[in-house]
């Protein structure tokens, strides 16, 4: 083979290749790029499926199998979100070598949901090609409302947060408020997430607890700065479940291991085993107290008890867990600001503790130091106790809330407080509801909805409030 012929077989991005004393056409002459497998609707941060494939074709539309060159891909069109939102990231390998004339991008993904994304493929001097528009969605499997932010997990196990971010509780390494679900930095797959007062925590599939955020205003200035993104908590492993506290006690978090051992910690405290705790299958952390359920559904609480939130018929604080009075067997238990609620194994809801805003749902505003039945005959499958209100989901999937409603956190299209369970408006079917301080979120059959106070807490791209559930961007 002469030198000129050998040179012409080396594919470059030039339309004409020259070597030696002659000039011959390159295999790219009259060639063009095409999206053999264009991007389709994708899940946020999950690799595009099927993978994007870009082919080099000749003038007759046949793949140039001898092509051996790099194809680059970039993001050239994206949705527009409110000012101050994070830049949209295109993850993955963006330059790939062709094989038999085709470049396969098998790990591309996009960070934020939205419509109107377009990718552009290019190689040297050939005209670039742009994909048809496609969408990125978020499919949420769990959500958790905190004090002034919320977090949720996607089906791909990535955590997204939204709301206020002054103490880095969004976990994206900034302190900029986010009005739409924003991915936490690090892309750590989590199996559970819990939003607290000024922080959030989750559990990785390795059993390690990760937390981000910081201490609330007024905390000692000698403490370290907030955790900017999900950070492994030293001294914890084999974690199975955790709960981030809403307010007070420096936003403490408690969690249980797979063997039932309970640990609690503050933002920067070393996790410590709870003294005298029996083996728990789950824990819940409120303002200044926490509670746990044993494997045989018996409830214990510990911590502050100034309003009877421990439910042991006293007002005495206790560092060690004390048995909740009444002899009930609970399916689930939820600690709020200064009150606690639980669902018995037959679906009956009981609450105890502070009741000044009717958060116990017993038709009164009287303090209760033992579990008191919530008014009505509703059968619940899930409860969440907020700052001074409570919400739950019945076995039919209907959401109910009661207590303080000054920020419309009850979702009943009003700002009137309620002494008994009141249906959440909108006709939604929920699998779970979570309560914060001034806003509430719930996982419905078609995604996550939030309602109550604004300032970005609703996750719908606005700063407004809502009297009824509003679907977040997803």
| Per-residue pLDDT tens listing for the chain (474 residues) | 333 333 323 333 333 333 333 343 466 778 999 999 999 999 999 999 999 999 999 999 999 999 899 999 999 999 987 766 788 999 999 999 999 999 999 999 999 999 999 999 999 878 999 999 999 999 999 999 999 999 999 999 999 999 999 989 999 999 999 999 999 999 999 999 999 998 999 999 999 999 999 865 444 444 567 889 999 998 889 999 999 998 644 468 999 999 999 999 875 667 899 999 999 999 999 999 999 999 999 999 999 999 999 999 999 999 999 999 999 999 999 999 999 999 999 999 999 999 999 999 999 999 999 999 999 999 999 999 999 999 999 999 999 999 999 999 999 999 999 999 999 999 999 999 999 999 999 999 999 999 999 888 999 998 889 999 999 999
Contact 283, 256 (CB under 8 A): yes
Query: What pLDDT, on a 0 to 100 scale, did the predictor assign at position 397?
Result: 98
The distance between the two most distant Cα atoms of the chain, rounded to a whole number of Å, is 100
Residues with Cβ within 8 Å of 467's Cβ and at least 6 positions away in sequence, in order, are 408, 411, 412, 413, 414, 415, 425, 451
CA atoms within 13 A on the CB side of 11: 21
> How many angstroms separate the CA atoms of 343 and 346, rounded?
8
Query: What pLDDT, on a 0 to 100 scale, did the predictor assign at position 373?
Result: 98
4 three-class SS: helix
Q: Compute CA distances 232 → 141, 212, 284, whole Å.
A: 23, 9, 20
Q: Compute CA distances 145 → 90, 108, 171, whole Å.
A: 28, 30, 15
Contact 348, 409 (CB under 8 A): no
In degrees and rounded to multiples of 5, residue 152 shows phi and psi of -150, 155
Query: What pLDDT, on a 0 to 100 scale, did the predictor assign at position 7?
Result: 30
> How many angstroms separate the CA atoms of 213 and 258, rounded?
25
> How many angstroms separate the CA atoms of 69 and 95, rounded?
10
Residue closest to 457 by CA, chosen among 385, 419, 407, 413: 407
**Does 72 sit behind a cis peptide bond, omega within 30 degrees of 0 on the bond before it?**
no
User: Strand order in 466-471's β-sheet?
Assistant: 430-435, 439-444, 447-452, 466-471
Residue closest to 283 by CA, chosen among 342, 230, 235, 325: 342
Query: What pLDDT, on a 0 to 100 scale, did the predictor assign at position 270?
Result: 78
Specify the pTM: 0.91
Contact 265, 303 (CB under 8 A): no
Domains of the chain (ranges; CATH) run 3-137 (2.60.40.3960), 140-471 (2.130.10.30)
Look-up of token digits 């408020």: 177
> How many angstroms separate the CA atoms of 152 and 144, rounded?
6
Query: What pLDDT, on a 0 to 100 scale, did the predictor assign at position 83?
Result: 65
């Amino acid at each position: 083979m002469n030198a000129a012929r050998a040179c012409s077989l080396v594919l470059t991005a030039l339309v004409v290749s020259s070597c030696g004393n002659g000039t011959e056409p390159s295999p790219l002459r009259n060639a063009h790029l095409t999206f053999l497998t264009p991007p389709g609707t994708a899940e946020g941060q999950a690799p595009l499926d099927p993978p994007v494939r870009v082919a080099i074709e000749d003038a007759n539309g046949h793949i140039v199998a001898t092509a051996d060159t790099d194809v680059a891909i970039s993001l050239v069109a994206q949705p527009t979100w409110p000012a101050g939102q994070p830049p949209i990231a295109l993850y993955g390998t963006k330059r790939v070598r062709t094989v038999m004339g085709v470049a396969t991008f098998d790990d591309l993904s996009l960070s934020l949901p939205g419509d109107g994304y377009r990718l552009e493929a290019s190689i040297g001097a050939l005209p670039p090609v742009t994909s048809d528009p496609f969408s990125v969605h978020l499919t949420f499997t769990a959500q958790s409302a905190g004090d002034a932010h919320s977090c949720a997990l996607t089906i791909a196990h990535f955590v997204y947060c939204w709301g206020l971010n002054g103490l880095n509780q969004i976990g994206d390494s900034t302190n900029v408020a986010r009005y739409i679900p924003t991915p936490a930095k690090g892309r750590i797959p989590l199996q559970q997430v819990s939003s607290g007062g000024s922080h959030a925590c989750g559990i990785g599939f390795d059993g390690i607890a990760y937390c981000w955020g910081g201490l609330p205003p007024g905390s000692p200035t000698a403490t370290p700065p907030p955790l900017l993104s999900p950070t492994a908590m030293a001294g914890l492993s084999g974690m199975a479940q955790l709960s981030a506290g809403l307010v007070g006690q420096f936003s403490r978090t408690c969690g249980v291991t797979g063997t039932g051992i309970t640990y609690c910690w503050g933002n920067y405290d070393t996790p410590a085993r709870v003294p005298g705790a029996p083996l728990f299958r789950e824990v819940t952390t409120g303002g200044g107290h926490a509670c746990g359920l044993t494997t045989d559904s018996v409830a214990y609480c510990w911590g502050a008890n100034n309003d009877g939130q421990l439910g042991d018929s006293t007002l005495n604080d206790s560092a060690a867990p004390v048995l909740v009075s009444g002899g009930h067997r609970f399916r689930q238990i939820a600690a709020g600001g200064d009150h606690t609620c639980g669902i018995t194994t037959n679906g009956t809801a009981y609450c105890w503790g502070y009741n000044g805003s009717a958060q116990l749902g017993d038709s009164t505003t009287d303090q209760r130091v033992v579990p008191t039945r919530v008014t009505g005959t509703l059968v619940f499958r899930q409860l969440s106790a907020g700052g001074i209100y409570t919400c739950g989901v019945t076995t039919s999937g209907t959401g109910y809330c009661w207590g303080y409603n000054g920020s419309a956190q009850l979702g009943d299209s009003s700002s009137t407080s309620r002494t008994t369970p009141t249906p959440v408006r909108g006709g939604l079917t929920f699998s779970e509801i979570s309560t914060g301080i001034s806003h509430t979120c719930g996982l419905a059959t078609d995604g996550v909805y939030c309602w109550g106070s604004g300032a970005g807490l609703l996750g719908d791209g606005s700063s407004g409030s809502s009297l009824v559930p509003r679907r977040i961007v997803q």
